[in-house]
Amino acid sequence: MKLCVIGTGYVGLVTGTCFAEMGSDVVCVDIDEAKIEGLREKKLPIYEPGLQELLDRNVDEGRLTFTTDLAEGVAQSLVLLIAVGTPEGEDGSADLQHVLSAAHAIGQALEGYRIVVDKSTVPVGTAERVREAIQAELDARGTHIEFDVVSNPEFLKEGSAVQDFLKPDRVVIGTDNVRTAEILKELYAPFTRTNHPVLVMDVRSAEMTKYAANAMLATKISFINEIANICERVGADVGAVRLGIGADTRIGYQFLFPGVGYGGSCFPKDVKALIRTARSAGYEPQVLDAVDALNIRQKSLLADKILAHFAVEGRAPEGAIVAVWGIAFKANTDDVREAPSLTVIGRLLAAGCRVQVYDPVAEAAARRTLGEPGGLTYCPNNYDALQGAEALAVCTEWGAFRRPDFGRMKTLMAAPVIFDGRNLYEPQEMKRLGFTYFGIGRKA
């Protein structure tokens, strides 16, 4: 099947590359000429495990191409997938300017029947607006061309997106057109051979499914963080509590990892967008409001703990060296958007601390976001970041941080104090090794 993917960001690249891997001919379109030129040279603008290998193979074998000419992609493809960004607007709603711009461009280029697929995360009702935008262009041209607009949300986790796409838990198709549904079922057939369901529903329900899924996962994270914060105050250990509740099959263990809050390009933006959608419909979303508010507060928790520790020790924060391990919002990605580490680093710098940071893949993205303010040093490895540090803040759960050389760490640090924002270490073991240890909801 011939496909055109509009947008070469995270979703667009994974989508286009994985469809090409299963035999479809895919052209990816973007207005960024430098990015397209880099992709033609097989240079990925993002870090995602496994994606480079698939990109290399499919470009070499001619199934995956890149262009800035949308009309070219529309002309040669049956299915047009819109995978552009939907950033958070000033009022918390999703900004649809890129989606609607793509829709207008499709309407200007359309010459025959096409299936237009909303792959971007969009609010309920967006498919109707996409249809209206395309139709407006056709009307302006005085042309009648049949087309369908479908909602087909992605459910990809950064760090495992390739496997998520190749082996999906489910595929959601939002359309009332039986013929269109069958074409998309055929498109996804190579990915659903192990009987993972293809769920066909109305368009608005499909759009809502994406937001509801992300909001549910964000709720689980904020919930376990709330429990962790209570545990600290009543002398319980959230690690044990997590095991106790996760064993219940109605609850499970996934996304029940206490820490410094969620980040990335999806959860923060999508929770806020769903809150905005609810209020626009005359409903006050109290649970979602609480999820968002708690996450904002949680991002400051590690910095609060560090500064409180210095106060107890009678140490003014000015000039204190704090090491930070991890900048990306989660492991196996270079994405620093809404990362808790940014809040931690910002708070420490504002208090006058000197911050020495290390991340195995996200340094370039961090430099673009944070710049190089006074007091911030980017280090070439995690041990260099510890030199002279009076505290270590662990912000990302990279594998390299899970079993470090604790003896070497003690020789490098001015004070062996760990603030573990991902609960990677066991409190009793840290005590035995001579560290002062602060986890999230852990019992010393």
Contact 228, 305 (CB under 8 A): no
Cα 285 from Cα 122, distance rounded (Å) = 18
- Measured CA to CA, the distance from residue 325 to residue 357 in angstroms comes to 6
Question: Both ends of the chain: CA-CA distance in Å?
Answer: 58
Which residue from 269, 123, 314, 308 is spatially nearest to 207, judged by alpha carbons?
Answer: 123
How far is CA 110 from its chain centroid? 33
d(CA 64, CA 9): 15
Query: Token match 């409180």: residue?
Result: 308
48's tokens: 């995602």
Q: How big is the chain, counted in residues?
A: 444
Separation CA 140–CA 157 (nearest Å): 40
Sequence-ordered strand ranges (E) for 169-210: 171-174, 198-201
User: Which is catalytic among the residues 28, 266, 353, 395?
Assistant: 266
Distance CA 52, CA 38 (A): 13
Q: If we measure between CA atoms, which residue out of 373, 368, 427, 365 comes closest to residue 396?
A: 365
The answer to whether residues 259 and 225 touch, using CB atoms and an 8 Å cutoff, is yes
Catalytic, 266? Answer yes
Which active-site residues does the annotation give? Answer: 266
